[in-house]
Amino acid sequence: MNPRNRLAVILSGTLAAAAVIVAILYGNWDGAVHEGPESVPESVADSLAEAAAEPAVGAGAGAEGLPNSLPGVILTEGTPEVPQPVFYDADGAETTLADFEGQFVVLNLWATWCAPCIAELPALARAQTALGDDVLILPVDMEKKSAEEITAFLADKGAGSLPTYIDRDYGLMQGFEAFTVGLPYTIFIDAQGRQVASASGEQVWDDPEAVEYIRQMALGG
């Protein structure tokens, strides 16, 4: 990588991590439930500190057999299995990503305080409609909010057709090392439960080119 470009990647990753740390520790992270820095588990704080000290690095040239030409999407080098922290569905039931094996999943980590996250929610909903049963779009909110709050928020933002899932312990953020890039963060997971690509920041997921790209990814290229 060009040294100037590498420096830009390092700086952007560090700034994104710092912004997420500030949001979690000082009041913008959960919006409704906040008790100051002591409310963040020590393990999360340690991971945040480690993430902030490391540069954000792209995932490499890409997984074999997958399309590789959608701006903003980085194909994952190899096919690592995804982490399995517990998060919760609309009924409060414990859920892990293993529950979705057999489906191609577009996992979207987001929060109600995150403007780019909010902006892309309706596009995610429209993309799900366009993709049908070929793909499951799985948005997971990263806050200490109730399922009722998140369901109402999705409906208010034009994304009421999307399911409600919440990760109140930030386990997915830790597992996918998303603290280095911030939110929204989108991870593409194949039917065998392996990460094949990722994208950071707001994307236009309902663009016809993006929809077709995701469909081809789900079909294995």
pLDDT for 20 beyond 90: no
pLDDT in tens, 73-116: 999 998 899 999 999 999 999 999 999 999 999 999 999 999 99
pTM: 0.75
Res. 6 pLDDT band, cuts 50 70 90 = very low
- Average of pLDDT values for 4-8? 39
Cα 127 to chain centroid, rounded: 16
Rounded CA separation 32/144 (Å): 7
More confident: 176 or 48? 176
Q: What is the pLDDT of residue 220?
A: 83
User: Average pLDDT of 145-161?
Assistant: 99
Q: Say which range, 29-33, 161-165, 177-181, 196-200, has the weakest mean pLDDT.
A: 29-33
| pLDDT score of 182 more than 50 | yes
Q: Are strands 94-95 and 165-166 parallel, antiparallel or unpaired?
A: unpaired
Query: CA 6 to CA 11: how far, in whole Å?
Result: 9
58-218: CATH topology is: Glutaredoxin (3.40.30)
Interior/surface letters 31-54, b for 16+ CB within 10 angstroms, e for the rest = beeeeeeeebeeebeebbeebbee
Please, are residues 179 and 20 in contact by the beta-carbon 8 Å criterion?
yes
Domain spans in the chain, listed from the N-terminal domain onward = 58-218
State the pLDDT at residue 157: 98
Local confidence band at 65 (pLDDT 50, 70, 90 cut-offs): low
| pLDDT at position 210 over 50 | yes
Distance CA 133, CA 194 (A): 19
- Residue 221, pLDDT score: 58
Half-sphere exposure of residue 42: CA atoms within 13 angstroms, side-chain side: 0
Q: Is 220 in contact with 79 (CB distance < 8 Å)? A: no
